Structure 1
Amino acid sequence: MRLKKIRLAGFKSFVDPTNIPFPDAMTAIVGPNGCGKSNVIDAVRWVLGESSAKNLRGDAMTDVIFNGSSARKPVGQCSVELVFENVSERLQGEYAKYNELSIKRLVTRDATSTYFLNGSKCRRRDVTDLFLGTGLGPRSYAIIEQGMISRLIESKPQDLRIFIEEAAGISRYKERRRETENRIRHTQENLERLQDVRGELAQQLEKLQRQASAAQKYKTLKAQERQLKAELAALRWLKHSQQADSLQKHVDELEVDLQALMQQQRGDESGLLIKQQQRDDLRTQSEQLQQRYFKLGTDITRVEQNQHHNKARIGQIGAELQQILQQQAELALQREQNEVQRSELQLQIEELEPEFMLLQESLQEQQSLLEAEEQKLREQRHVWNEHLKQQRALQQQHHQVSSKVDSLQLMLQRSETTLHSMQSQLQQLPETNQDEVNRLAEQLREAEQELADTSMQLQNTLEQKKTEQTQLLQCRDVLKDTDKQLAVMEAQLASLLALQQLEADNVAYQAYLSDNTQSWQPLWQYLSVEPTWQLAVETVLGKWLQAPVFNQQAEFADVSGAIALFSENFVQHKASGSLAERVSSDSCPHWLNMVLCAEDEVSAKQISLLPGQSVITPDGYWRGTDWAIRCEVASEQTVLVRATLIEQVQREIAQQNARKSELDERVQALDAACEELIKGAQQLDEAREVLRHRVLESKQQFLQAEQAQLQRDNQQQALQQQIQDLQLHIETEREELLLAKAQSEDSAEQLAQADSQVSQMQDSQQQIDLAINQQRQRVEQLRNDSHRLALSRQQQQSQYQQCEQQLTRMADMLTALDEREAMLVEERESLQLPLEDNQEQLQLWLTERVDIEQQKNICQQQLEDIELWLADCYKGQQQVAAKAAKIKAEQASIRLEIEGQRVRANALIEQLDEMRQNLKFVLDNLSDDAEENQWQKQLDQVGMQLARLGAVNLTAVEEYELQAQRKAHLDEQFDDLTSALDTLQTAIRKIDRETRARFKETFDSVNQDLQHLFPKVFGGGAAYLALTDDDLLETGVTIMAQPPGKKNSTIHLLSGGEKALTALSLVFAIFRLNPAPFCLLDEVDAPLDDANVVRFCKLVSEMSDSVQFIYITHNKIAMEMATHLTGVTMAEPGVSRMVAVDVEQAVALAEA
């Protein structure tokens, strides 16, 4: 697997889409400073998932987007794509089968970052997981940028461990371990929360078993409150509707005035459009004339400038020709003078040659005599030097012994002084103060006990608050469920009432009944029937069940199709075995006595009937003497059954309302309790903080006193031991001083004898030196004469050569002047030709410009006239528009008021809908004397009565069953979480075993390769890796290196170049074990000298067989190593471009 190419677009200085290919194993990226070379490294790091803008040399992630230059605007997004060859199938998983892999990252100005794998959108984690264990990553050892070499070699042990882990391929294990630890932590947190909830539920279940109560009064008051709220909302709706209707009439009057103004405005617009079109045509014509006028002016200016330039140039050429003629004359005169000087110098050189040869011969004879005398002197000096060495050795020996005596005397004095000082310090040490230490210890224990008590109170308060909050949440959940149940019941009640209402099919009669204020009720409400015989009564009575029951016949209205019953005619006697007996009302219609009851159809057929009698069964089979009817209506669809259901639902609604009120009060009480507990917890927490500071201060005072006591004891013991050691040392120094004084006396006698011998030999040598000095003076005189003559001859020869060179140079200058003269004459003739042609064209353009200027003035005058007319027209329209705007503003204000009234009315309707009340029904049943203030007072009184009621729990049994089911479910979850926690901990142990084994194996291999590579890079020395701890999961890694001839104690003492080579040795050792697909090096050879660069290049060349290298360099030796050169240029400021060169092809082309 290797990097095939990089595609960049808008990334930093690479604003244009750029492809950077990497066809060979060694590619060098070169270019001047600041051209954008390091941006290539940043691009690779960015695509591989780098999330820190600081590591990309920026402040924000959007800083990687091209921000513009002096000639270009900023771009809105940037993208970088890496294309890999995966022929070796090194990647694992689903991407192993692809021969080519593409990874792309795109970021926009709003900091939205998107990743793509082979064109498919993916997550950042997918990219990082893909390269786990391969050595690639945003901060892996495969990418080494500027300054990273020194940071690598000086990094902390834990940071250096990361590189070993990546080489070992255990980064994926660490990621899995981190995820598993997170799951374990979350599982443990869930277990704790679950255990708390289970405990609270257990307490709740105990309480729910003991709870039971009723709240009928609460239900009654709640129903009365709901009715009063509905009627009060209806009164307010009626008031807002009347106000909205009044305001709407005023809006309609204003609309008539507004339409009149708009009609006037439309009449003026037709003439305005015609004038606007004329104005636009004149503007277009004026712009065309103006453009032609400007073009003629530009042409005229250009031709005039050309004419002026040509004339000036002709004048310059004439002046330059004059200078050339003058220079030619001066050069001819100088050439004649130089030829005369050359002849004179030739004669002087020939005269000096014989004299120079005689001086050379005499100098050689005197030089031979001088060498013989000097040889004799050297032999004498050799003997004298031997004696002198002996003398100096004796002097040095005597000096050393004397110095030793002085040093021993001085050391003895210092030791005695130090001994007196230590004895004085021992006497001055302060006395022990154990009582103060004991007092501070007791004070610390008291403060810690008080802190523990306060912490326990705070913990109890927090637990109590947690319990109250849990109860509050449970109450709110129950209240929410109660609201839902109540809404369902009210909807069911409304549907049942609507079905009952639909049974009445005479609309006119129902309208009469609604308007009639007299007392009446339908028959189905008047009768009370046993549930078993409700269907039978429904079959017999039919539509009579909806008939109204009046007390007297006089109350009945004369309405077409109307039916009615009169309770004054009902019978109280109920025949035995008849259907009337099944009705529990005091009285009932007399014809029910004529209907007998049978338990089933068989029994009904066996009963003998009298004329007018019939028999019916509970399932609706009704038979007479000569007829039979079978009811087809389901029992649950009958009026009486629905009436029973309505009563049942109304009772349940009342119960739910009472329960809701109780829950509301319970929630309020729990809220207040929670607030009190929170305040108490805050006060306890503040007190705990004060106590904690007091404990810290006490502990610090106790430790300081204890430390002072310990320091005093240690100091006393140390001084006593030092005094004993120093006394022994003084005795030893006195013995050494006596021995050194005896040695000094012996060396003084030997030195006196040597001084006498050296003095005798020095007199003999002075005589030989005098003879040699005289001979040297004679030789030096001859040498000076010869040198002076040679200088004179050399000076004349130099002057002769200068004359020759000046003559040659003058000839070249004359030739150049002739050529320049011919060129200027030709240029002058070419400039004189176009002057006359340009003058004629210039005159024609001037005439045309005058004509165009006149046309433009006429057009401008017409345009100004139209503009004045339009301004007057616009002013009139603005006045009309102002009047219309004033009317519209007034309309808008009134409409806002209308809308406000309607919104308030609609809000009241919504309020009624929430209460399941019909507005029309409420208004129809509202008394005529109803007033808003009176109804509000009644509602307040009902609310006060509800507030005085205590909390009532209506659903203790249902809640107990619900909470018991929840408890069982939580117990099951607890078992599942415990099992999952055991599984996760087993996985952690397995990951740790694999991680230890892989890390140890990789560490040993990298350490061995480092010990092999380091001497190879440095030409000697040694380096190794070491662990900082025995725990292979947490231990850090340190590196120790000692170049040849050095025994440094730490890696920080190495020079910059040595650190760079050591870091490269470590990186290449890792590469040998787990080679990444490629290695990026950014100027890592900068601190190296040429010799070390050669070693670095040789090592990179050897490893390029298995690793693809891409490196940035300014070093020529490193450039020569590359098989492919890629240059980065910045010809356009702020914009980088690529220039690629294949080195082998370039060499082949150069040789051809």
Structure 2
Amino acid sequence: MRLKKIKLAGFKSFVDPTTIPFPGDMTAIVGPNGCGKSNVIDAVRWVLGESSAKNLRGDAMTDVIFNGSSARKPVGQCSVELVFDNSSGRIGGEFAQYNELAVKRLVTRDAQSLYFLNGTRCRRRDVTDLFLGTGLGPRSYAIIEQGMISRLIESKPQELRVFIEEAAGISKYKERRRETENRIRHTQDNLERLEDVRGELGRQLEKLQRQAAAAQRYKALKASERKLKGELSAIRWLKHTQHIEKIEGELAKEQNELDALIAQQRGDEAGIEKYRTQSEDIKTALDDVQQAVFTISTQITRIEQNTLHSQQRDNQISAELEELHQRRELLAASLQEAEQALEKADMSLEQSEPELLMLEETIIQAEERAESAESALREYNRKRREQEQHYHSLKQKVQGLHSQIQSVTSMQLRTTQRIGELNDELTALDDDTLSERLEEAQAEQELAAEKSAIAEDEVIISKDALNAASEQYQTATAAQAGCQRELDQAASRFAALEALQELAEAEAGELPEGVALLWKSISVKPGFEALIEKVTVWLNNPLVAAEYPLETLIASAEHFPQGHRILPLHTDRPAEEGTLASCLNDGYIPSLFYRIRLVPDLAAARTLLPALAAGKSVVTETGEWLSADWLLRGTVQEDSAGALQRHGQMAQLQSEIDSLSEQLAELQFQADSASEEKTRAEEHLEITRQAQVRSAQQQQQAAHQVAMLKQEVAQLALRQQKIRDELTRQQQTLAGDDEQLDTLTAQLEVLEMQLMDAEEEEQNASSERERFEHEQQDARQSAEQQKSRKHQLELSVQQQRNQQQLYLEQVTRNQAQLAEYRQREDALTQEKQSLSQPMAMHEAQLAQLLEDREVQEALRIEKQNALSDVEALLREAQQGHHGVAVKIQQRNTVIDGLKIDIEGARVRAMSVLELLQETGQSLKEILPDLDDTADEKSWQQELEKTTAAVARLGAVNLAAVEEYETQAERKQHLDTQFDDLVSALDTLQSAIRKIDKETKTRFSATFGQVNEDLKQLFPKVFGGGSAYLALTDDDLLETGVTIMARPPGKKNSTIHLLSGGEKALTALSLVFAIFRLNPAPFCLLDEVDAPLDDANVGRFCKLVSEMSKSVQFIYITHNKIAMEMATHLTGVTMAEPGVSRMVAVDVDEAMAFVEA
């Protein structure tokens, strides 16, 4: 697997779309400081999933977008794409089939970051998972940037362990272990919640089992009650049917009399239609005459207007002819002036053209003189360049000696500083600071042990608080569930009653605006609901048209539903005691209720009956309604609720629901408070546990610190001896630098004398060069003046030619305009002559039309008189027809009364059928089995006994049976879930153990192999010495990794005592040792050779060259030796400030070209 190329657009300084190819195994990226080389490394890390802006040298993730320069505006987004060659199949899984992989990341100004794999949108995790185990990642050992060498070698043991894990390919195992631990934690939480639910559900099942037994008894009684109600309804239906047959006979007799009246009415209508036809014919003839009068008047008006128009047009033509004559005279004068100007322009042009030809010859001569002066100046400049080259050569040699002297002086200074540092370090090692630190560390170890014991006590207290909060939460949730069940039951009953009400409204059909059912419009006093319900049923559930007076109801009867009694506009008079109106509250009271007297029983009704006025009736509180001519009987039953009683029950249930809702909200608040308290207790327990873990870690760290300090005390004496040896070497080096400085100073004096002679020659040549330049400038200035004069003359000639053309066009245009004016005068003269002929003809036509209009006016008056006679006869016929219509209306009123009685009986029969339908029964099922001797009274008594038995059961949860079965099934399902979760928890814990085992095996093997490779590479890089890795703990899952390096001739006790160059080489040795074991597809190095001298750079280059056989290297460098090592050079330039561009060179091809 190889990195083929990088595509950048808008990323940092790479604002333009840029492609950086990597065709070779070793590609060096070179360029001056600040040109954007390190942005290439940042781009690779960014695409691989880097999410820290700080690690990309920014404050926010949007800082990677090009933010503009002095010449460019900021861009709105940036993108970087890495293209890999996967022909070897290094990337497995679903992408193993692709020979080329493209990983792209795009970010916009609103911080929206998008990832793409082979052009397909994906997640950041998909990108990181793709490279798990390959050694690639945003912070892997494959990317070594500026400063990372020192951070790597000085990193903490746990940080250094990460590089070994990445080399071992166990980073994916750590990710899986973390996910598995999260799943275990979630599974344990689910088990605790599930156990709480199972306990609560078990208690609910015990209660539901008792309620289910009562519900079954209730259902048996309700079935018996249903059968009795059906049979009682069938008895009442038979009674209503017989009453309907009697009234239908009376209705047929009245209908025959009505038919005779309708026949007479139709005869009268024929006569009316005859008169109407005559009237329409006369009106049509009258309209024709009026149309003729209008047409003649229109013609008269048009002729008068045409005559007036001809006179006006004649006046216009005369005025226009006068205006044309004046314009023609002005145009003739303008034509004469244009011809004179044209002659002057021709004469001026003949004088300017010869002068222009002479000026062109003068310019040619001036340019020849200027060219001769420039040739002389070029020859002089050539000789001066040779002198300047000699001067600059001497100057460079002097500068080189200055640089060498400065370098030796700098080395002396560094040596002197090093001697001072060694003396300071030796002085510092002589104090007692280390012993004091050891005593402080031992004291901290004892304090950490005390804190760990206190933290354990706090964990125990937090667990007790959590248990108390959990019990309080369970109590609150149980009370909340009970209240919720009561609310659900009340809501169910309300929904059932609401459905029945909607069904009752639907049976009434669609009602016009302003019309409503009676039971929705009245308010009944308590205790009278059943009686008012019975009356409304007997009235066939009447409608209320409260906004319509009686006259409107009669006139618009066809717009109201059939089969209903419609009560008109009510009166505002108060309810009268002793009438049915007294049973209603203030508000709408039907006027019918004022005519119905209310008595306690049937005996009181018989007493009151003889004194009743016509149209009034009596109703008893026991359910009888009678008048002088009829009687309706029916027992008032409170349990058999109709629409009116349901309306009251719904209001009561709504109040109960509102109360339960408030109670439920309060219980919900208590449950939430208990839940918050439980959460706080859980959080506090977690905090105390974390504090306990931190205390234990601090205790362990303190113990480790004590051990480390004891080791440092032992190493202190050894370090003091090493410092004394190095002081001797540094003093010898300082003496050698003094001798070299004297030699270089003598050479510098000789070269400076030669440089002074060359500077004198440079000053003498300046005056001669000024003379040549002055002659060249004079010749060139003369030529330019002649060219300027020629240009002005050319402009003057061109202007004269333009004026000549304009005057010529004006003459032509004026001549054409004169011809047009003459043609227009001829046309207007002819039109003026033609207007005088039609005016006489119009006067004759006008006289004839006035005579015709007088004739049509006389005919119109005659038709109007005939129309008045026919309309008088039509009014007489309509009056006779109205008399017959009145008689028909009276007969219809009688028939409607009979129909209302029939409909009332039918409605009562239908009400019986509706009650049957509500119970799910039909007459076809009941009548065959009904006893012939059955009577309404005995069946009513049996029904009352059954209803009383149902009432004795009290409140029954009808849904208990179904709810018990549902909850039992849910309990079984929860038990299954509990077993599954326990099994899943065992599986996850087994997976953790397997992952830990695999991690230990891989880490141990990788650590050993990397350690061996480090031992081999370190002597090769340093030319001797030794280095090795060590573990800080016996636990392979948590242990850190430390590195110990000892260059040749040194016996340092810690890595921190090495110099910057030694640390860099040691870090490179470790990185290359990791690469040997698990080589990443490529390695990025950012100026890692900066702290190395030439000798060490040579060793570094040799090692990189060897490893490039298996690993692709891309490195940024300023070192010439490192550049020579590369097979491909990629240059980054910044010719435009703030914008990076790329230029690439194949070193092999370049060498071949040079040798050729």
TM range (shorter): 0.3 to 0.5
TM-score (norm 1): 0.48
TM-score (norm 2): 0.47
